[in-house]
Amino acid sequence: MTTTTTATTASAPFGSTGLPSPHRARGSALARSGAGEAVKVLRRRFVLVTLAVVVAIAVGGTALSIVGAQTTGGGPGSFLTVAELSDAGGGTAVLGQTAAFTYVFLLAVFIAAVAQEFTRGTFRTMLLHQPARTPLLWGKVGVLIGYAVAAAFVAEVVCWFTARLIAPSQGIDTSAWTSIDALGAAAGDLGRVGLFIAGTAVFATMIGVLARSVPIGVGAALVWSGPIENIVGDNWSGAERWFPGLLLRSVVAPGSTSTSTGRALVTLGAYALIAVGVTAVALRRRDVTS
């Protein structure tokens, strides 16, 4: 129906004219998305704020764990014992326990980070520069996980030094904390925290994409991880084997629940696959209208 004053538009078949591969398309979509997110999280002021929060949580959590250390008992839901803290991994054992306490906070942060991209419209803006939706999202989340793990490493160091300062006052022997075994235990603790962070991020990403709203997403997560997981968990013995929040707690703080780390990892792996699938389908099928 249209012509110009000097020429007619050709009836080129749809999709028949391929564009030359532009130089801008180089590199994987996932890496490009990660690079974009890295620009955000590696800003000086953002790093400084993160450090301040991490140090505060690490110092507070460690102090609480050391001061509250029990001479006997222990087990699910209780503080570490003096004996456990005197082991080679005692200096960093509090990291897992502290991380477990931050579960709801971490969940909310990841949900907000994802959902906000939709409410602000920045996901739309990013799609115009990198249109592969799934890699765009997971590249961003991947960098956030890496950033959080790096922060956990800083927290672990802070935990160790803080514990070292406070432990003698509580009668905890710290002589084993500088052994090779202590290094191995520290690596194990960091690995568990890394898995905990990654698992939390995967579930939070799914919630953020489905909700596309910070209040709705965070609200739903708070209701689930607070009243439902804990109240139901207190009254149903199977909850620790099936509820994701409690399974993540099993991973990050072994012994804090009755579920073994291995079983928790297998169940969480299955959940994570489902979450990634649901997220991918939601991303592909839903229009980006805001």
Partner 1 sequence: MHTVHDEPVTETVTPVIRVDALTKRFGSRTAVDALSFEVPPGVVAGFIGPNGAGKTTTLAMLLGLVQPSSGRASVLGVDLAHPDRYLPSVGALIETPALYPGLTGIENLRVLAALGRHDTARIPVVLDLVGLSARGGDRFGTYSLGMKQRLGIAAALLGDPQLLVLDEPTNGLDPVGIREIRDLIGSLATERRTVLVSSHLLGEVEQICDHLVVIESGAGVYSGPTSGFVGSGERLLVVAPEHDADLDALCRLLTADRFDAEVEHASGRLVVPLAAEDDARRTAAAVNRLAHAHGIVLAALGTEQERLEDRYLALVTGGDR
Residue with token string 């202590």? 182
CA end-to-end span of the chain, whole Å? 32
Phi/psi of residue 102, nearest 5 degrees: -90, 5
Phi/psi of residue 43, nearest 5 degrees: -65, 145
Q: How far is the CB of 25 from partner 1 (least distance, A)?
A: 5
Q: How far is the CB of 288 from partner 1 (least distance, A)?
A: 4
Is the Cβ of residue 63 or residue 280 nearer to partner 1 in the bound state? 280
Pairwise CA distance, residues 230 & 243, whole Å: 10
Q: How far is the CB of 44 from partner 1 (least distance, A)?
A: 11
Q: How far is the CB of 51 from partner 1 (least distance, A)?
A: 17
Q: How far is the CB of 203 from partner 1 (least distance, A)?
A: 24
> Largest Cα–Cα distance of the chain, in whole Å?
92
Is the Cβ of residue 103 or residue 123 nearer to partner 1 in the bound state? 123
Residues that bind partner 1 (CB under 8 A): 1-10, 12, 14-19, 22-27, 29, 32-33, 35-40, 43, 120-122, 124-132, 136, 287-289
Is the Cβ of residue 131 or residue 168 nearer to partner 1 in the bound state? 131
Residue with token string 């696959």? 273
Give the residue among 153, 155, 126 at the shortest CA–CA distance from 138: 126
